Structure formats: C-alpha cells, structure tokens
Amino acid sequence: HSLRKGVANGGMAQFQEMMRQQLESSMHTELEKLLDTSTGAERDVSKKDFEGFNNLFHRFLQVKGPSVEWIKIQRPPEDSIQPYDKIAARGLPDNVANSLNKLVVVKLNGGLGTSMGCKGPKSLISVRNENTFLDLTVQQIEHLNKTYNTDVPLVLMNSFNTDEDTKKILQKYTHHRVKIHTFNQSRYPRINKESLLPVASNLNMNGQNTDGWYPPGHGDIYASFYNSGLLDQLIAQGKEYIFVSNIDNLGATVDLHILHHLVSQPNGKRCEFVMEVTDKTRADVKGGTLIQYEGKLRLLEIAQVPKAHVDEFKSVSKFKIFNTNNLWISLAAIKRLQEQKAMDLEIIVNPKTLDGGQNVIQLETAVGAAIKCFDNALGINVPRSRFLPVKTTSDLLLVMSNLYSLEAGSLTMSPKREFPTTPHVKLGSSFTKVQEYLTRFESIPDMLELDHLTVSGDVTFGKNVSLKGTVIIIANHGDRIDIPAGSMLENKIVSGNLRILDH
C-alpha cells in the first residue's frame, strides 16, 4: 500500500512537472511567434523584455501556496527600523553638496491619470497653481541644485503608456538647472487566464492588440534601469544612491538627513537599501508592512497574506507601520544583484477583465520587495508629511487648499493648522473626474480648521466658503445643493435641496 502510495505521489509530482514544462514550452513558442511579427529595434527591445517575462512566468508556474508562512513572521528587531528624529539629530555636515552629488532622483512615472478621468500620464495633471506633478518635481530638484551648487539629475521611469507624452513635455525644461533622463520599463504580454498563453497576436500596440500588453509593476525598475545602460552611465559619473518614489507622492522630497546617514556609514557597513515607513492610521490598513522573516527584513503586502490572517494584517496594533514607497537604494548594489541574477521578488498575480470580457492575468512585482536582497537594509520611520499621495480628487482637494503652502516645488503644512494630521475627505462619485471636480468649486474652500468632510450627490461650492470641524453635505438623487459664496459651515449636516438663485 505504502509503495503504491509513493508511486502515486511521485507520479503526481511528475505529471505536474510535465504540465509545467509543456506550458513553458508553449509560452516560449508563442513569444517567438510574436517576435517574428517585427524587426529591428522593436524586436530587440521586446526580446530583452521577454527574457524577464520568461523568468517571471517560470517562477509563477513553480509557486506552491503562499509566499510566506504566517507562523514564521516575526516583528522586526528594534534597531532595524530607526525613528527619523534619531537620524536627523546627527545634524548635517558642512559639505552637503558632496552628498548631493552622489544622488540621483528617480520618479516612477508609468501610470496614467485614468482613475481621475484624465487622458495621458498622471504626472501631467495640474495639482497646484497650474503646476503638474512633474513641474513640482523639477522645481524641487532645481532648487536643490541652485542652493547647494550641485548636479542632482532626475530620472523618470516611463512605461509604454506614458513615454511619448512625457518626452514631448520635457522640452519645456531645457533651460532648467536639472539634467533629465528617461528609460522605459518593460512591456510584458497579458496572459489568457484559461490557456495561460499571450492574448496579443503581434508586437503592435494598436487595435485589438492594445489590450495585450501591460507594464509589470515598479519592481521592474531594477532590470529595466540596468538594461537601459543608464545605471552604468550614472555609476561612471560618481553617483552612489538613487532616491525612488511615486511621482504622485507630493511628500517625497529629497531629505538631506537620510542622505547624510547613508553616505556617512563606514564602507563595510554601508546600508544598501532604506525604506521610509510611517505610522499606520485607519486609512492605511492595506499598505505593505515590514517584517522579520528567516533572518531578513522583508516587505509583506496584503496580497501575500493568507485569507485567514487578513484582519490581523490590517490591525493597527500588530503591524504599526506601512511602506511609503520612498526608497533609497545603492546603485552599485543594484548592478551587483542584477549581474548575479539575485533579485528574487515575490510575484503579484493581478487578475483583470478586458473590455471584451476576456479574463487575463498580469504578473507583476513591487520595487520594495527587493529589500530582502540588499545588505544592511534599514527602515526609517518618517513623519507622515513625507507621504502625501494624490490618488483621487479627495486627495487633490487637500493639496490645492490653504492647508498647504507651496515653496520651491515643495508642499508644507500651514503653521496655522492646529493639528498636524490632514482632514479626512470623502468626495462622492460626482467629483471623481478632475474636470467635473473643478467645475464644482468656484474656489477651493478654507479648510484650516476642518476635521472631516463628506460630500455626496450634485453639490457645488461658491467662492470663499469656509469649512470647520465635521461637515457632511448630502444631496439626494434628483436634488441639488449649492453652497452659497462666503458661507461658513462648522459641524453641520446639509441635506435635501438647497439652491440659491440670482434675483
């Protein structure tokens, strides 16, 4: 009986292995066919992309069960997440310029503004005084370069979705004191969920094929940066660290204290990777967190958590911090790990349904997941102000308001606000698209003393409205509420139908 059982088990494993090899072989054949639909440079770029994709697909087929065993998760050791105040208390050296000249700022610029109803790259949405995310970034770095007489370059990681539009816009910065480089992240084929084969029929990006491709998440930065040749170029110029962040995080400015901490470590103890984390609030329960796992600091994302433990993961008491995706990474270490093929990032399987109803999967990776591959990695618990992402028009309302002042491309919380936390703002579906949102505010309300704002339905705001405490405005279906110019609403609920008509 036991012999038969052993053969059956062995047979099962053999069968699974055979199936895997067959799937890999079919995928390989299909990718070769796709490559044959093009020639020249496009073919060469795709061939390189497909090498990365093949590696990911191979690992995807190997995966058995969750990537972490819950029982092995430990809290990070005390010294592996340092408070920002401790880092800042060391002060700055006289020659800040020396440190800055070793730095490159990299912004993740692969995303479109579709979730906010905009066409084109998200980085080109106006966020404050007609300035886009990209304008503010350029202003920040230019200000650094002028203040310290340095040469900090800006690098944009574009995707095939954003590259063309971004490059057109870059011409307007030619006279700014910032060198700007771009490189493209990979273009991977979407996989049919049933057949596990590519849905595209050729390498083109038009017609039905448009849906066949996707940029594989920001974990792709390491391979793409290395393959582009830009990594070697920057190392040759004496650059040592990159500061990576999402272009829509307006709090992610260059921090001189963190930079000084990195470059002042003795060579053997050099920290190769810093992840900025910040304290969780109820709004951040889905954010990735740092854990100790098999002796290494590691990023744990909600997608990796077994269903039975999701509530525990979301608890603010057990996992107190989350990843802001502001990262400081050694260039030499990226080069070493790429050459040793030692970047082992967990695969995120992202299911999508295409417009025609076809179910596909995208294999993605996250940039922060690489923390376990680097030596002497460190978390730094930074103030919340370094995490100011603009994902929705509710976020946009905050950064456009008098809660923040804008100086040299950086937003800082107004000293007139009594508490350092931002108000909780929830705008309803009538405000989702930027264009519609803008027509609903004649001017942005005074929000200095606001704690909470909920707006639902067909609501418009006149000029110079002031909101304080908790304000809830709900226009029921078919009703409309116009908040009159000059109104002051403090701890008010407004509902029903309110229209002020000109006499």
Three-state secondary-structure class, residue 91: coil
The pLDDT value recorded for residue 4 is: 46
The pLDDT value recorded for residue 9 is: 57
251 labelled binding-site residue: no
The pLDDT value recorded for residue 65 is: 64
Q: What is the pTM of this model?
A: 0.92
Q: Which CATH number fits domain 393-495: 1.20.1070.10, 2.40.30.110, 3.40.980.10, 2.160.10.10?
A: 2.160.10.10
Q: What are the respective helix, strand and coil percentages of the chain, to the nearest 5?
A: 40, 25, 35
74 labelled binding-site residue: no
Superfamily, domain 70-386: Spore Coat Polysaccharide Biosynthesis Protein SpsA; Chain A (3.90.550.10)
* Rounded (5°) CA angle 181-205-351: 95
143 labelled binding-site residue: no
Distances (CA, A) of 159 to 40, 145, 167: 20, 27, 12
Alpha carbon 402 to chain centroid distance?
26
- Interacting residues of 325 by C-beta distance below 8 A, sequence separation 6+: 108, 218, 244, 245, 246, 249, 367, 368
Query: Which amino acid, 309?
Result: H
pLDDT tens string, the chain, 503 residues long: the values are 544 444 455 677 788 888 889 999 999 999 999 998 888 888 888 888 999 999 999 989 887 666 788 888 888 888 899 999 999 999 999 899 999 999 999 999 999 988 898 889 999 999 998 999 999 999 999 999 999 999 999 999 999 999 999 999 999 999 999 999 999 999 999 999 999 999 988 888 776 778 899 999 899 999 999 999 999 999 999 999 999 999 999 999 999 999 999 998 877 788 999 999 999 887 777 888 999 998 889 998 887 888 888 888 887 777 889 999 999 999 999 999 999 999 888 888 889 998 888 899 999 999 999 999 999 999 999 999 999 999 999 999 999 999 999 999 999 999 999 887 889 999 999 999 999 999 999 999 999 999 999 999 999 999 999 999 999 999 988 889 999 999 999 999 988 776 655 44
Distances (CA, A) of 346 to 155, 285, 300, 349, 373: 25, 20, 10, 10, 12
- 80 Rama sector, left if φ>0, alpha if ψ -120 to 50, beta otherwise: alpha
- Contact by Cβ (8 Å): 478, 458: no
248 labelled binding-site residue: yes
The pLDDT value recorded for residue 144 is: 96
Q: DSSP of 479-500, one letter per residue?
A: -EEEEPTT-EEEEEEEES-B-P
Supply the residues annotated as catalytic: 391
The pLDDT value recorded for residue 419 is: 83
* Rounded (5°) CA angle 121-127-129: 130
- Tally Cβ neighbours within 10 Å of residue 223: 23
List, in sequence order, every residue forming a beta bridge with 396; answer none if it has no partner: none
In angstroms, the CA 346 to CA 365 distance is: 6
Report domain extents, the chain: 70-386, 393-495
- Interacting residues of 159 by C-beta distance below 8 A, sequence separation 6+: 109, 110, 111, 184, 185, 187, 215
DSSP summary character for residue 427: E
Residue carrying the six token digits 């800006």: 154
- Contact by Cβ (8 Å): 434, 393: yes
217 labelled binding-site residue: yes
375 labelled binding-site residue: no
In angstroms, the CA 65 to CA 77 distance is: 27
Which stretch of DSSP H or E encloses residue 108? Answer: strand 103-109
The pLDDT value recorded for residue 500 is: 53
The pLDDT value recorded for residue 2 is: 46
The pLDDT value recorded for residue 10 is: 60
- Interacting residues of 182 by C-beta distance below 8 A, sequence separation 6+: 155, 156, 157, 158, 163, 166, 167, 170
The pLDDT value recorded for residue 6 is: 47
Does the CA dihedral 325-329-331-336 come out positive or negative? negative
Alpha carbon 153 to chain centroid distance?
20
The pLDDT value recorded for residue 284 is: 79
- Residue 70: half-sphere exposure toward Cβ, Cα within 13 Å: 12
In angstroms, the CA 68 to CA 77 distance is: 18
